[in-house]
Chain A
């Protein structure tokens, strides 16, 4: 008698990929692609920054232009209106900023146009500074009509020998316009700055 013992041996051949393999492959793919996506995002951010900078330069140059050539109107009650332009308009702004108007010392005129106050530029802030060049704040001196008179004692408030240097300082006015902005969507709230500078000389 032939006893036949038939052993069934099953071989299962998986020729496809399992779900686990698929998910691992996808995870690797994601890891490989994410840096490229970040590059894309970075380039976008860089462009947004350049937009902010272009806007800031437009604002700064326009403001500088207005200050350089604009006029200042001086209205004193019972006296007719006086209009100064260029250097004299800027000098008037320094006079109004100085202690007591035409007081004892020259000061720096400062003005900030805050964020949200400029139409079309909600992220930008303008800081303006107008002062004599190169020293921003110094004691105002008055000189005697005669430059040097040996018959009289020198006035205590001014040494005539200093006059040329003093006059040089009051003959030039510097304008600094600084535009600051925070990029829209920048979570770090990093402030960027664009500065424009010029000197106006007494005519």
Chain B
């Protein structure tokens, strides 16, 4: 009898198409852990970058608006009107050199053509020339004739109000903010512009022996219709005005706070 030895090779293919559940769970857990660490790293940087972009946009936009203001003050020959209407608006009109025409001045054969620039900073919501204007908006108007007392600007909005709506308007003016000063404490600053005369004493302002309260009193004394502790201390003749002081607190939807503090002298008074 012949013995037949047949080797039958049975090949079995076991196809593992993907991970096992355990592998997936470990992978997910490791990925989640790494992602948590990585996420903070990536998105924190992204948030920081966005915040920084916002800050610089905020600064540039404001700086540009205030540069327009600064240029107009510098190139003006006089401040014809300045009024602080309590709870309503601060408004100022500048007599501004528009152009020089030849032929009319008997001495120089020139004549100056002026226009009048009005700046208004609104303290509350109101309708001006059928335009709805929010509180804390800085607006500008230009006219060929002096608009006179009480004129308010509404044509061009230089700085928008932060109260205008955070989504629609991420950058705007804030009413007031507390700032810390070493050795003094918290100082409240508010957004405003005001006019000063020659009684702004720079040597006194730089003197460390003079207290901040005294310095504030001195600024009030140099301010047109200035007030200090409720009483009138400033000058009253607008012809004595020599400079405009801008103080604006700008903020955005990231709550970045920037304080602009700039003193601009009229060239015509130098």
Interface residues of A (CB under 8 A from B): 1-19, 22-23, 26, 30, 33, 37, 40-41, 43-45, 47-48, 50-51, 54-55, 58-59, 61-62, 65-73, 83, 85-86, 89, 92-93, 96, 111, 113-122, 128
Contact = CB atoms under 8 A, between A and B. Distances in A.
Contacts of B41: 37
10 contacts: A4-B8, A12-B14, A13-B13, A15-B17, A22-B27, A44-B51, A66-B263, A68-B265, A83-B199, A120-B257
B59 A51 contact: yes
Given A7-B10, A43-B49, A72 B56 contact: no
A19 B258 CA distance: 51
Contact of A62 (B45, B181, B189, B263): B263
Contacts, number: 183
B203 A96 contact: yes
B181 A116 contact: yes
Given A67-B202, A120-B261, A40 B49 contact: yes
Given A7-B10, A51-B55, A58-B262, A41 B49 contact: yes
Interface in B231-261: 242-243, 249, 257-261
B101 interface: no
B6 interface: yes
Given A5-B7, A15-B18, A111-B206, 14 more contacts: A3-B3, A3-B6, A13-B16, A41-B49, A43-B49, A51-B56, A58-B260, A65-B263, A67-B202, A68-B265, A69-B242, A70-B202, A116-B180, A116-B181
B264 interface: yes
Given A2-B4, A10-B12, A71-B199, A117 B181 contact: yes
A47 B16 contact: no
B156 interface: no
B183 interface: yes
B228 interface: no
B205 interface: yes
A7 B9 CA distance: 5
Contacts of B179: 119-120, 122
Nearest to B267: A69
Q: How large is the interface on B (under 10, 10 to 19, 20 to 34, 35 or more residues)?
A: 35 or more
**Consensus secondary structure, chain A interface:** mixed
Interface stretch (B30-38, B133-141, B144-152): B30-38
Contacts of B12: 8-11
B258 A47 contact: no
Contacts of B7: 5, 7
Contacts of A92: 203
Interface in B171-205: 177, 179-184, 187, 189, 198-205
Contact of A16 (B4, B19, B60, B205): B19
A37 B181 CA distance: 36
**Consensus secondary structure, chain B interface:** mixed
Contacts of A17: 19
Contacts of A12: 14, 16
B157 to A, nearest CB: 22
Contact of A61 (B13, B257, B262): B262
A93 to B, nearest CB: 6
B42 interface: yes
Considering the complex of A and B, which 8 residue pairs feature the smallest CB-CB distances, nearest first?
A120-B259, A70-B202, A44-B49, A116-B182, A47-B52, A16-B18, A119-B179, A69-B265
Nearest to A41: B45
B49 A66 contact: no
Given A16-B19, A70-B200, A117 B10 contact: no
Given A2-B3, A120-B258, A72 B182 contact: no
A85 B222 CA distance: 14
Contact of B265 (A13, A30, A65): A65
A162 B17 CA distance: 100
A15 to B, nearest CB: 5
A203 B153 CA distance: 38
Nearest to A92: B203
Contacts of A58: 63, 260-262
